[in-house]
Each structure stands twice: as structure tokens, then as C-alpha cells.
Chain A
Amino acid sequence: MSVVQSVHNVALLPAYLAAGTAVLVLLADLLVGRAGATVAVACAGVVATGVGAVVVGAAGTRRTFCVGADCSWVFDGRAALVAGVFALLTLGVLGLSGPLLRGGPTPVGEYCFLLACSMTGGVVLGAAGDLITLIVALETLTLPLYVLVGLRRGSLASAEAAVTFFVVSVVATTVTLLGAALLYAATGGLHLDRLGGLADAPDVPLVPAAVALVVLGLAFKVAAVPFHAWAPATYDGAPLPVAAYLSTASKLGGVVALLAVVQRALPAEVTGPVLALLAVLTMTVGNLVALRQRRTVRLLAWSSVAQAGYILAPLGVLVSAAGRADDVRAGAYAAAVAYAVFFVVVELAAFAALVALRPAGADGGALADLRGAARRRPWAGAAFALALVGLAGLPPGLAGLFAKVTVVRAVLDGGAGWLALVVAVNAVIGLAYYLRLAATLYADPPAPASAGEPAASVRVAPARAAWPVSVALAGATALAVVIGFAPQLVLDLASR
């Protein structure tokens, strides 16, 4: 056996492109020094990453960094999907950041660099073939976000959010690492596929504990109850585009990591009950607490906690023997991926609309600040309402409707009728607050308190959004409408 490994560079191309984007952004900021140029380089790099991922992924599975049959880098159809979605989300968030970068004190170069770094983590994550690559990729995805969350200068909430996020996230990573170490100690393997073979015997000591630690550590990343408490505070303190990134890309990262270990490495007998319990708790608690929120971003944060529960729900079928049949399992994983894709598109549209409706660089504000917003700004308001309805899973938000249908179908195929009923009842609770927010948009605008006094909200929303925000909003909404009418596109990609 040769000591020098041959490296399949084409398989690594998407990761090269993503990392190269980050470096180029730094260079552009250093050499050109104009905000526009930096952002343009970032956007071009992100697009190149996305295209590269699709091109590489379309040609079938490519592996590299292999020891025998076990590979640390497996770029297959799902990896391409994950990388493509990450690129799209990053592009969208860059668009949303336009007003923030233009006017404010935010350093443009650093901002774009950190975002590109985070995207690199996401691209690597989808292709990770062993636990260490997976955890390092997840950390690469998360680490830049600690800084990005704290970027609202002079805002105490922002600093608090960053610290909360940092502490919780580091603890979660430690827990996952401990689980991985125990798994290694018990089985002697780290490659996901190899673990899948070994861990079929759950009576190996330590395996259940190790599995539980890995799953729980990753549950922090998707903000599943009871490991969710960081999410609302962090989202609310972060700049709006970063909150959008957190609730879409970062959450998608957690889901991908969780799916990778659950699907390929860990024994379903152990993960099934844990995941079913997590799913039920997450959607129920998320929805119930969201009912009482008064601040827009907190409401969206709690709703995205609940949405994580819907994503986990199909995995809950592993709890029953019928749900562990091979085709049912495959369907459940595909349903989770499909729901996650539907969700991130609609969620991005919701955040984009919120950015468009709020003053440049402002935080999400209270629900009352959005009173009558759709009457002043019919298009952005309608897009927001459509996204909210989609999150609630009702027509005309067909993307969200089909997402719910996919989950319920996968759960019932696994014979877990009770779980389907829990999902169904949660959809009703969810509608209550989505409807409240949507109705606020169309309520009568508040009457000016008194003519002479300066109103409480001095910075009123602009008459129209900056063009990058409008483009991002239009793109996300159009994408949501397209996958709403042709959900088969997503379902096909998800089952690859």
C-alpha cells in the first residue's frame, strides 16, 4: 500500500471553490477596497460554488481520501443538493445584507469572508464520510456565525446573543465529540459506513450512550427541544440577514449532520425513540411558545424551532419495527430532506420580506411595528403573507402544504399514526400565530399618536426596499412558488 494517497481533486472541486471564494473576498477587500467589488466577488464565488457542486454531483458519486473501502469524502447526489442549497441560501443572505453593508458600520470584507467560510463548512458537510470530517465541517459552518451574530455594533442584545450562541454551541460540540470518541473506543471505527456495519450489535457496551451523546449534540444545532433555548435570543439579537442565515443554512447544516449519522452510522433501534421524542417535544413546545411572542424575529425563531420538529418527525418512524424496513427508512430520510429544502426556501422568503419591510439595518422589531405594512407595501407584504402561509402549510403557500403532506405520508408509511396526529394538531396550533402575524400586516395602520410629537418609530420603513433585497425576495418567492407547483422536483432530488 502506498503511503501517499491519491486525491481525487474533481470530487473536491466544490470545496475548493467555496474556500477560494473566502480567500478571494479577503484579497478583494484588501486590494480593491470597495464594498461593491467585495460583494460582487463574494456573489460570483458563491454562484461558482453552486454551479460546481451541481456539475460535479451530476456525474455520479465520487470518493476520495479512502482507506480501503471507507472514504472520508463522498460527493454524491445528496452532497450536491446540500452544497447547491447552501450556495443559494448564501447568495440570498448576501442580497439581504445589501442595506446593512451599504450604510452601516459593518466591515464589508470581514462580513463576506465569514459568510463564505460558513458556506464552505456547509459544502464539506454534505460530503463528509467520517465523524471527524462531519464535526469539523459543522464547526466550520458555525464558527464564523459567532462573530456575525455579534456584528451589530453598539447593541448589547447582539453581544449577548453572540455569547449565548458561542457558549451553547461549544458545549454541544463537546458533547458530540465525546460521543464520537466513545463510539471510536467501542467500535474502533470513525467512517460512517463502517460504523453502520459495526453498531448493528447494540449490546456492545458504551454504544447506546455514545449514540445518545452524538444525537443530542447535533440536536443543539437544529435547535430541537430541550436544546433550543439559545435560538430565540440569538436570532433576535443578530442582524436580520444573519438571523435568516441561522434559521435556514445553519439549521440545514444540523439536519444534514443528523441525517448522516442516523442514516448511515447509528443503530436505528437506539436512535428511533430518541428522535421520535425529540420531534414531538420540538414541534409542540415550539408552536406553543410561539403563540405568545410579541417580537417578530422571536416569533419566527420559535416557529423555526417547531419546524425543526416537523423535519425530525419522519425520522421518528424508526421507533417502530415496521418503520425500520429498508424502503420505509429510505422514504423517511427523503421526506426529512425534502421538508428541510421546502422549509429553508420558504423561511428565506419570509426573512427576505421582513428585511424588505423594515428600515435599513434595523432589527426585526415588535409585531405592532408591522401593522398595516402590507397596505403601504403591497408586493413585499403579499410576499411575507405568502411565506407565512407557506410555513403554516396551507394554500396558496403550496410549497409548505406539500412539505407537510410529504412528512405525514412518510410517517404513515412507517405505521406511526400517532405521530401523524401530533404533526396534524401542531399544524393547527401553528396556523394560530402565523395567521396573527399575517393579519397584522393587513390591519389598519396605526393612527399617528399626535401630530406634533415625534412618533415612537422615528425610522419609518422606506417606501421601497434596496434592489438587492428586492431581488433576493423575488427570487426566494419565485422559487417557493415553482416548487409549490412542481414539488416533484424537490422530492426527486431528496430521494437521490
Chain B
Amino acid sequence: MSVGQVLLVAVLVLPAVGAALVAVLPGERAARALGTAVAGLTLVGTALLVLGDHGWFGYGPAPAVQPWHEVDLPWVPGLDLRFHLGVDGISWPLVVLTALLTLLCCGYTVRRVPEGRGSGRALVALLLVVEVGILGTFLALDLVLFFVFFEVVLLPMYAIIAGWGGTGDDLPARDAARAAARKFALYTLFGSVLLLVGVFVVVAAAGTADIVALTGGAGLSRGTQLAAFALLGLAFAVKAPLWPLHTWLPDAHTQAPTVGSVILAGVLLKMGTYGLIRVAVGVAPEGARWAAPILGVLAVAAILVGSLVCLAQDDLKRLIAYSSVGHMGFVLLGVATLTATGIQAALIGNVAHGVITGLLFFLAGAVKDRAHTGALAELSGLRETAPRLAGLLGFAAVASLGLPGLAGFWGEAFAVVAAVERGGPLWTTLAVLAAVGGALTAAYFLRLLRRVTHGRPSPAVGRFTPALAGVELTAWVPLVLLALAVGLAPTLVLGYATGPVDALVGIVR
């Protein structure tokens, strides 16, 4: 095995073994620290995946998917399931983002565990299992394996929301968390069973589940491609989520504990958009062309509905949750254009949303921990009592609304540009509406800042102390720096993506 192959397997085995060790080892604090160390090692492993050849040096036309490293072992031949992993320019940024956010969440949990709930080490173990599922989804190059990893995430995330979620320690709070968790599990399972059917529609028609071989349609008939794209598209639209299938998201994000919200918003939603790009568009390009206008209209509807709902929200976490609907709308709009610009905008939008919304949820969690409430009506004057926290919140909100120079800008701006480039009355209208949605995004984030940071300190905020805990700064600073870095140098994300995206767009044409 080459170094790359060892790394590919290691980034999945490490967190899996780590989760088992964390669950059984005695010693609460030591187990959490061990989990964090494992997450750190995993991050190093994912970062090292970038090493290796990135070009196509073979003969003949270049294949649409050219993994830098590849592992391909048989697992269950009877089900066409192979243990086939690979990483390329489309998946690598998301892989690193997943490992980074998991590390930050594990580190945060070493010191901070939601009070009165399950043990912190069980939380760390679950976070690591979720990491295995998400990394596996991004790395899988076999449709059935992709489905298996897609499913792995579901129940640990359910347990995180149900076990550590909710505000307060009373019974209604726990019931609310459990209800939100159940809604999350049932909705996303609905998505993934559609994925299962879609995957096997493709496998039954093509006789293989190899994503590398399947990308480009692989001679599937038009009818099969339309059916496959409808099923796969619906499956990923639930996960992403696309309006009107988004209703699980606000409850889940609001009730989840801080680290759960960060992982949910930061990387879990990306499984949907990544799947759409890699699997749905790649495997059924004709279906993608057919469905692109519908997808575009729904994406713009998501942007507008998400922004309007945010304008009327009274709860900090719920507002940030709904803002995800709008932001993912921009990502999906980018995908729907099926142009190189649009898909690159989607990729960078994915990463930027993961970084910024992760940071926003960390900050919202900090505010909620201190004030014991998330209601905007009871929060004001944050800059008077906790100027640093207020400053960071301001930074994250401004980054999220898409200020040029920060990470959020590229994805949103270029999704609109891609729609304009696509031309025609429909796409131009969509571009204009999306731009209006962008303005609305600015409006609700500024409203949020005005309500929370300005004005006289409310009784809840008056108790705040200006200091920030070390563990909080450790978790937040990398995200702040990344939001800046990606904003100033988008090539960090897109540097390796140009080739794969061009190949993908070449197929769709």
C-alpha cells in the first residue's frame, strides 16, 4: 500500500477506534482528552491527503473523476459493494473541514459539557462516530459504500440531539429536544431510503456501483437517468436541505447542543450538496439537465423564504438555523446552473458556510450558556458587558452576510454571476431574485446585531463578564482565521477543484 492509501484508510479507522476507546476507557477527563487527540491526528491525516500527483498522466481521454489516492478492495460482491475510497479536489476541502470542526468540537467538549445530561466522553465518542460517517461519505467512490456511510451519521447525530440537546434541565426541554431529534432522524432517513432506491436503480441498470466508472452517465438510458436523478436529487434535497423539505432543520439546529449544531450546520448539510454534485449530477447528467430549472427555482425560493423567515425570528439559534436554509439555497443555485462558475461557487459556498455558521453556532452557544436564554427580546447591549464576544459575533454575522474579503462573499456572489451567465429569462430572473435575497440576508443579520449587541444591557446580558474562556478562544480563533483566509485567498479551496469541476461540467454538456 502506498502512503496515500494508508492515509485514506487511517482517517476512517482512527476516529472509529478512537470512539471505541473513548467509550470504554475509565477516566472521564482522560477519555475526552484522548478523543481530542484522536481527532487531531485525523485532521493531520486529512491534511496530508493533499500530497501526491494531482494531474492525469495516462493515455486517452481523462476520466471525469481522478482521485489523488485510491483504495479499492472487495467487501460484499453480492451487493456490488466495494470498499472504494478516493480523494480529489472536490472532496478534499470538505474532508479537511470535517476533521477540523470535529477537532474543535471535541476540544470544546473537554471543558464544556451541557449540564445535567449524559457524560462528556459519550458525547466525544459520538462526535467521532459522526466524523467517520461524514468522512466516509466524502471519500466513498462506490455508490453503495456512499449510501452506507450516509446512513452511519444518522443515529449518532440523533443521540447527540436527544441526549445533550435542549435548553435547561427540566422535562419539557428534554421532550422538546427528543422530539426535534426524532424529526431529524425520520426526515433524513426518508431522504436516505430514497437514496438507497436511487442507488440501486443506477446499479441495476449499469451493473456496477463504481462512481469513477459511472460518472458521465455510463450509457444509462434517458428514462433511467431521469428516475435516478429524481430519487437522488430528492434524497440530497432533504439533507441539504432544499426548501420545502427543510422543516427538520430549524428544530434540530435549535435544540442540538452547541457542538451538535456546529457539526450539523458545518458539515452534515454538506453531505447533501456534495452528493448532489458528485453522485446525482455526475451519474445522471441528463437527469440533471432536465431538473436544473426546477432545482434553480426551488433554490431561489429557499433563499427568499429563508431570509424572510429570519427577519421575523425571535430566537438567536433559530435565526442562525434558518439562515442556513438561505445560504444552502445559494449553494444549490450554483449547482443548478451546471456551469463551472456555479459549481465552484457551490464548493466555496459549502466550505465558507461550514466555517462561518460553525463559528456563529459556537458564539450563539456562548451567549446562551451565559444568558440562559436565546430570545432576542431578552438580549441587548452585549457590547457593553462583553465587548469581545460582541465583536466576534459582529465579525461572524458580517462574514455570513457576504461582505467582500470574507469567506461568505465568493459563494453567494458567484452563484448569482453563474445564473446570469447561464442567460435566458428564467435564469436572469433567478439571479435577480437571488441578489434580492442576498440583500435580505444583510438586513436580517444587521437586525440581529442591532438587537443583540446595541442598546442598553438587558438583565440577562448585564450579568456577563467581559472575559472569554481559553477553551472558547481555542475553538473560535481557527474559524475566524479561516473565514479571513478563505475570503482573501479563495484559491485555498478552489486551487485543486478547477480540473475536476471542468471535467464534471464537460460531462453535463
Tell me if A409 and B204 are in contact (CB < 8 A): yes
Q: Distance (Å) between the CB of A175 and the closest chain B CB?
A: 35
Closest to A404 in B: B196
Q: A: which residues have CB within 8 A of B?
A: 389, 394-396, 398, 401-402, 404-406, 408-409, 412-413, 417, 420-421, 424-425, 427-428, 431-432, 435-436, 439, 442, 486-488, 491-492, 495
Closest to B201 in A: A412
Q: Determine the distance from Cα of A119 to Cα of B78 in the docked complex, in whole angstroms.
A: 30
Q: Distance (Å) between the CB of B493 and the closest chain A CB?
A: 30
Q: Determine the distance from Cα of A417 to Cα of B202 in the docked complex, in whole angstroms.
A: 12
Q: Distance (Å) between the CB of A429 and the closest chain B CB?
A: 9
**Which of A398, A428, A491 has most chain B Cβ within 10 Å?**
A428
| Given A417-B227, A488-B77, also A408-B186 (CB < 8 A) | no
Tell me if B196 and A424 are in contact (CB < 8 A): yes
Q: Distance (Å) between the CB of A310 and the closest chain B CB?
A: 13
Contact of A408 among B75, B78, B152, B196 (CB under 8 A): B196
Closest to B149 in A: A395
Stretch at the interface among B44-52, B187-195, B262-270, B296-304: B187-195
Per-residue 0/1 for B57-80: is the Cβ within 8 Å of any A Cβ (1 yes, 0 no)? 000000000000000000111110
Closest to A338 in B: B78
Tell me if A431 and B79 are in contact (CB < 8 A): no
Tell yes or no: B182 within 8 A of A by CB.
yes
Given A412-B197, A424-B194, A488-B75, 10 more A-B residue pairs with CB atoms under 8 Å apart are: A394-B189, A405-B144, A409-B200, A409-B203, A417-B201, A424-B193, A428-B186, A428-B190, A487-B78, A487-B79
Contact of B193 among A389, A425, A491 (CB under 8 A): A425
B193 neighbours in A (Cβ, 8 Å): 424-425, 427-428
Ranked nearest first, the 5 interchain pairs of A and B with the lowest CB-CB distance are A424-B193, A491-B78, A395-B152, A412-B200, A412-B204
| Given A487-B76, A488-B76, also A405-B196 (CB < 8 A) | yes
Per-residue 0/1 for B178-190: is the Cβ within 8 Å of any A Cβ (1 yes, 0 no)? 1000100110011
Question: What would 26 A/B residue contacts be, using CB atoms closer than 8 Å?
Answer: A394-B154, A394-B155, A394-B189, A395-B155, A398-B148, A405-B79, A405-B147, A405-B200, A406-B79, A409-B79, A412-B197, A417-B227, A427-B189, A427-B193, A428-B189, A428-B190, A431-B186, A432-B182, A435-B185, A436-B182, A439-B178, A439-B182, A442-B163, A487-B78, A487-B79, A488-B75
A432 neighbours in B (Cβ, 8 Å): 182, 186
Q: Determine the distance from Cα of A435 to Cα of B186 in the docked complex, in whole angstroms.
A: 10
Tell me if B182 and A396 are in contact (CB < 8 A): no
Q: Determine the distance from Cα of A17 to Cα of B196 in the docked complex, in whole angstroms.
A: 44
Tell yes or no: B162 within 8 A of A by CB.
yes
**Which of A402, A421, A431 has most chain B Cβ within 10 Å?**
A431
Closest to B74 in A: A488
Tell yes or no: B158 within 8 A of A by CB.
yes
Q: Is the interface of A mostly helix, strand, loop or mixed?
A: helix
Q: B: which residues have CB within 8 A of A?
A: 75-79, 133, 144, 147-148, 151-152, 154-155, 158, 162-163, 178, 182, 185-186, 189-190, 193-194, 196-197, 200-201, 203-204, 227
Q: Determine the distance from Cα of A424 to Cα of B147 in the docked complex, in whole angstroms.
A: 14
Tell me if A408 and B76 are in contact (CB < 8 A): no
B204 neighbours in A (Cβ, 8 Å): 409, 412-413
Closest to A427 in B: B193
**Which of B78, B79, B185, B190 has most chain A Cβ within 10 Å?**
B78
A428 neighbours in B (Cβ, 8 Å): 186, 189-190, 193
Tell me if B186 and A492 are in contact (CB < 8 A): no
B163 neighbours in A (Cβ, 8 Å): 442
| Given A394-B189, A409-B203, also A424-B79 (CB < 8 A) | no
Q: Determine the distance from Cα of A230 to Cα of B303 in the docked complex, in whole angstroms.
A: 53
Q: Determine the distance from Cα of A396 to Cα of B129 in the docked complex, in whole angstroms.
A: 10
Q: Distance (Å) between the CB of A101 and the closest chain B CB?
A: 34
Contact of B182 among A402, A412, A435 (CB under 8 A): A435
B186 neighbours in A (Cβ, 8 Å): 428, 431-432
**Which of A389, A395, A487, A488 has most chain B Cβ within 10 Å?**
A395
B227 neighbours in A (Cβ, 8 Å): 417
Q: Determine the distance from Cα of A398 to Cα of B133 in the docked complex, in whole angstroms.
A: 13
Closest to B162 in A: A439
A488 neighbours in B (Cβ, 8 Å): 75-78
Tell me if B185 and A431 are in contact (CB < 8 A): yes
Contact of A491 among B79, B182, B189 (CB under 8 A): B79
Q: Determine the distance from Cα of A170 to Cα of B396 in the docked complex, in whole angstroms.
A: 72
Q: Determine the distance from Cα of A420 to Cα of B227 in the docked complex, in whole angstroms.
A: 13
B76 neighbours in A (Cβ, 8 Å): 402, 486-488, 491
A417 neighbours in B (Cβ, 8 Å): 197, 201, 227
Q: Determine the distance from Cα of A77 to Cα of B318 in the docked complex, in whole angstroms.
A: 59
Closest to B159 in A: A442
Closest to B178 in A: A439
B196 neighbours in A (Cβ, 8 Å): 404-405, 408, 424
A492 neighbours in B (Cβ, 8 Å): 78
Closest to A397 in B: B155
Q: Distance (Å) between the CB of A396 and the closest chain B CB?
A: 7
Tell me if A401 and B151 are in contact (CB < 8 A): yes
Q: Determine the distance from Cα of A394 to Cα of B190 in the docked complex, in whole angstroms.
A: 12
Q: Distance (Å) between the CB of A281 and the closest chain B CB?
A: 19
Closest to B196 in A: A408
A435 neighbours in B (Cβ, 8 Å): 158, 182, 185
Closest to B132 in A: A395
A491 neighbours in B (Cβ, 8 Å): 76, 78-79
Q: Determine the distance from Cα of A413 to Cα of B178 in the docked complex, in whole angstroms.
A: 38
Tell me if A389 and B155 are in contact (CB < 8 A): yes
**Which of A402, A409, A492 has most chain B Cβ within 10 Å?**
A409
Tell me if A394 and B79 are in contact (CB < 8 A): no
Q: Determine the distance from Cα of A421 to Cα of B194 in the docked complex, in whole angstroms.
A: 8
Q: Determine the distance from Cα of A428 to Cα of B189 in the docked complex, in whole angstroms.
A: 6
Q: Determine the distance from Cα of A398 to Cα of B78 in the docked complex, in whole angstroms.
A: 15
B154 neighbours in A (Cβ, 8 Å): 394-395
Q: Distance (Å) between the CB of B209 and the closest chain A CB?
A: 10
Tell me if A394 and B151 are in contact (CB < 8 A): yes
Q: Distance (Å) between the CB of A391 and the closest chain B CB?
A: 13
Closest to A395 in B: B152
A436 neighbours in B (Cβ, 8 Å): 182
Q: Determine the distance from Cα of A49 to Cα of B147 in the docked complex, in whole angstroms.
A: 40
Q: Distance (Å) between the CB of A292 and the closest chain B CB?
A: 16
Q: Determine the distance from Cα of A421 to Cα of B200 in the docked complex, in whole angstroms.
A: 11
Q: Distance (Å) between the CB of A403 and the closest chain B CB?
A: 11
Q: Distance (Å) between the CB of B488 and the closest chain A CB?
A: 40
**Which of B163, B201, B203, B204 has most chain A Cβ within 10 Å?**
B204
Tell me if B189 and A431 are in contact (CB < 8 A): yes
Closest to B202 in A: A412
Q: Determine the distance from Cα of A436 to Cα of B185 in the docked complex, in whole angstroms.
A: 11
Q: Distance (Å) between the CB of B395 and the closest chain A CB?
A: 38
A412 neighbours in B (Cβ, 8 Å): 197, 200-201, 203-204
A431 neighbours in B (Cβ, 8 Å): 185-186, 189
Q: Determine the distance from Cα of A348 to Cα of B186 in the docked complex, in whole angstroms.
A: 26
Q: Distance (Å) between the CB of B159 and the closest chain A CB?
A: 8
Q: Determine the distance from Cα of A486 to Cα of B306 in the docked complex, in whole angstroms.
A: 45
Closest to A406 in B: B79
